[in-house]
Amino acid sequence: MTPHPSAMPCTPELARTMAEVFERQRRHHAAIRNRTVRERRRQLIRLREAVLDHRETIRAALWADFRKPPLEVDLTEIAPVVTEARYVARHLAHWMRPKRVGTALTHLGTRAEIRYEPKGVVLLLSPWNYPFTLTLAPLVTAIAAGNCVIVKPSEFAPNSARTIRRIIEEVFDPEEVAVFEGDHTVAEALLDLPFDHIFFTGSPRVGRLVMEAAARHLASVTLELGGKSPTVVDETADVEQAAEKIAWGKFTNAGQTCIAPDYVLVHRSLHDALVAALREQIEAFYGPDPEAWRQSDSYARIVNDRHFERLRHLYEDALAHGAREAIGGPWIAAERFVPPTVLTQVPDEAAIMQEEIFGPLLPVQVFDHLDEALEAINRRPKPLALYVFARDDRRVQHVLNHTSAGGGCVNDTLLHFNHPDLPFGGVGPSGIGKAYRYHGFLAFSNERPVVYRRFDFPLLRRLYPPYGEQAQRLIDRFLPFF
């Protein structure tokens, strides 16, 4: 059987083709960069319409890749892309317009502005867990900023990769946007090319390799990575609300979400109530027992056997270290089915507390004082997201003021990702740079400062060489006002 194109390694012929397409895009960018607002909007609307036209194909692709529920596809894959395209098209004229800035005392006689010009030819390396959202939404802002783009979708979601390629080829000429499928060797070959910017979404381990490759060409990067996103449930929290939001954030997409709650730190007084409420919520979402969860059309599967076995190792290692399964059920390897699982009494030394889980396993630990929870968070690398549940705003602010994270929510989960007026991204090991909507437009743009001399200011000539006593007296007089 011939392997799917997404799983094929890079051949010398493919490497030459990619290099040729890159050169064609680099030559063609002179025309692309000066496209008008109307022309860029037209491309965004065409992409939006193509996604809507292929709605059923997208749903089928994700069901084939890891049995993602069709309604969940609508909510988490199609809606974010079409919303992004419409929002960016609506605001693009304002974003593209040069931004006037004030005139400082040191710049009398001038005016200044910031111009927004495209970075050039950019590479977009996208993941498998939300293949359409995390490929096409960044593509929207790259196109809006006036760039040419080469896209490499993940080989782990081959049906989605094929559909992404089909959509892009319908909308764009390859001199503007091109797609290359294949395994990791295709990505490695692309990283050898001198792109002007690289946008990568994936694991911190691969993010380091991307950054190393970018450094060879001094390319700028946006790295959307991951990490262990904590959830704090304070003693003042509404337990029922917390359980509902945590279960939704954790078990959507079978936990394969970079900003899913990775572990819960709950006040000891609420531990038993929270676990009971989580069980009730899981049963409300997926059915009354593990067999119903397995049969549910609302619950996805793990993407491949390797990730299934990785999760099984984390689960078994946690139990071996003394953790207790408070909620769970049988695992079905043939279906790559991992049930919604809640583990309690999980020690810090268990691997599940050291690695990003990226699956439907939820460790729960207790704390007696809020600062204990903050200490547990701060001894780990800065996370991509942080969630806090509390009804006392002073305690909420205490958590926010004494931690650092890429983003997060108070009394909810996930919602910060698609808020139209918020940036999205990590901090430190969880990511570099911000993305989506206006912040995505900035990520793919060079903010070019320009100063215009309006009229001469003779006093400045006294500061030109050769330097003398008169220049020194002038500096001494005005330096305190600078």
Confirm whether 10 is a catalytic residue: no
Which residue(s) pair with 388 in the sheet? 232, 410
Helix (H) or strand (E) holding 282: helix 271-286
CB-count exposure of residue 469 (10 Å: 0-12, 13-18, 19+): exposed
Structure tokens given for 355? 């690695």
Helix (H) or strand (E) holding 291: helix 290-295
Spatial contact of 387 and 413, defined as CB atoms under 8 Å apart? yes
The set of residues, in sequence order, having a beta carbon less than 8 Å from that of 421 and lying 6+ positions away, is: 437, 438
Q: Which amino acid is at 314?
A: L
The set of residues, in sequence order, having a beta carbon less than 8 Å from that of 206 and lying 6+ positions away, is: 200
Confirm whether 169 is a catalytic residue: no
Q: Which amino acid is at 470?
A: Q
Catalytic residue among 84, 224, 244, 356: 224
Query: From CA 220, how far away is CA 46, in angstroms rounded?
Result: 28
Query: From CA 68, how far away is CA 240, in angstroms rounded?
Result: 26
Closest CA to 91 of 422, 420, 425: 420
Please provide residue 356's backbone torsions phi and psi, each rounded to the nearest 5 degrees.
Answer: -65, 130
CA distances 188 to 164, 191, 213, 420, 481, Å, are 20, 5, 9, 33, 53
CA distances 204 to 211, 345, 356, 413, 428, Å, are 10, 28, 10, 22, 10
Adjacency order of strands within the sheet including 220-224? 177-179, 148-152, 121-125, 197-201, 220-224, 431-432
Pairing of β 445-453 and β 110-118: antiparallel
Spatial contact of 442 and 94, defined as CB atoms under 8 Å apart? no
CB-count exposure of residue 243 (10 Å: 0-12, 13-18, 19+): buried
CA angle 121, 123, 128 (to 5 degrees): 155
Tell me if residue 116 falls in helix, strand or coil: strand
Query: From CA 418, how far away is CA 423, in angstroms rounded?
Result: 9
Catalytic residue among 77, 155, 181, 258: 258
- The catalytic residues are 224, 258
